[in-house]
Structure formats: C-alpha cells, structure tokens
Copies of this chain bind each other. A is one copy, B any other.
C-alpha cells in the first residue's frame, strides 16, 4: 500500500500531539528546546476560513482536498537567562491543492507560515513511502520540511531554514510528536 495521497497524510495527522522540538542554530551551535501541544483538526470544504483562504489565493474550491486547522501552544527555553520560558502559540488554516495530473504533489495554502507569520504558498510532494516534503519560499528565507510517520502514533518532522538563495542552512530542527490518547 502506498501513502502518497494528501488525503491519507492529513487523515493520519488528525488528532492531538505532544511535541518535543529541538532546533539547532548552526552558525553558533546553539540548541533550542521547545515542548508543545499540537492539535490538528479536519475542516469541511465549505468552512468560512477555507473559503476565505481560497478566495485570497484565487483558488477554485473544486480543486482542494482535505483542508485542516492546526493550533499549537508551547514553551521554548530559548532565553536561557530567563526563568520564564517563552510561550509560543498560534494557529493556521491549511488547504492542500493537489496537482490534477499528479496526486502525489501539489500546493499547500496557509493563512500564515511557520518561519514567518505571513500567508504563504508551499509546494508539497509525498513519496511512495509516505514522506511529506514541503518547500516554502519567503522574501528572505526558504523553509523545507519533511514529515513522516515512524509509527501511526509517532510523527517526525525535520525542518530547515535556508537563506533565500537556497545555499546556506541557518537552522535545522527536529520534532518528535506523540499522539495523545
């Protein structure tokens, strides 16, 4: 069985996850540790948030698949000198738009990005063995993510932030996400 359809990938992702994320800031060999809870919920295609995001991107609602909503709340140890860890929280609406000629790839619309808090369009591809790869270009940087299921209840995510030229990787991060009951 192959897992290269976005509908399968989203279906496996729905739920609540406890995440540990480690970011490596490569230039100065700094470690950042983030603990968070993530919730991923399916949205219907006629949800107002989905409709609005499609309108903003001039995207036909007929062409979308498996829209979803992701929210997170966590704490980072980034500021080592501070006893209060930085609180991180946010949410985003995500709408996949599969390529009509190749179901294993497409675009992913977001009302805000991870690397920068602005709307973004990424290009995704899903390999035969279920590895979801997403590339998103911003003004000053490019983000690449690989997400896969190590088991049905353990999701791994590798993210890299590159300079916009695509040459230098400035940050690499790894998340392990365990499904909550």
- Asked if A16 CB lies within 8 Å of chain B CBs, one says no
What B residues does A22 contact at CB under 8 A?
22, 24, 31, 33, 174
| CB-nearest residue of chain B to A20 | B24
CB-CB contacts below 8 Å: A155-181 with B: 156, 158, 160, 167, 169, 172, 174, 176, 178
Q: Are B26 and A178 in contact (CB under 8 A)?
A: yes
Q: Are A31 and B33 in contact (CB under 8 A)?
A: yes
CB-CB nearest 10 A-B residue pairs? A22-B22, A174-B174, A31-B33, A20-B24, A172-B176, A24-B176, A154-B169, A20-B29, A150-B169, A26-B178
- Asked if A18 CB lies within 8 Å of chain B CBs, one says yes
Q: Are B150 and A172 in contact (CB under 8 A)?
A: yes
- State the interface size on chain A (CB cutoff 8 A): 21
What B residues does A33 contact at CB under 8 A?
22, 31, 33
A168 to B171, CA, bound (A): 29
- Asked if A101 CB lies within 8 Å of chain B CBs, one says no
- Asked if A2 CB lies within 8 Å of chain B CBs, one says no
- Asked if A117 CB lies within 8 Å of chain B CBs, one says no
CB distance from A123 to the nearest CB of B (A): 17
Q: Are A158 and B178 in contact (CB under 8 A)?
A: no
CB distance from A148 to the nearest CB of B (A): 10
| CB-nearest residue of chain B to A29 | B20
Q: Are A31 and B26 in contact (CB under 8 A)?
A: no
Q: Which of B20, B156, B158, B169 contacts A31 (CB 8 A)?
A: B20
A24 to B151, CA, bound (A): 16
Q: Are B150 and A160 in contact (CB under 8 A)?
A: yes
| CB-nearest residue of chain B to A167 | B151
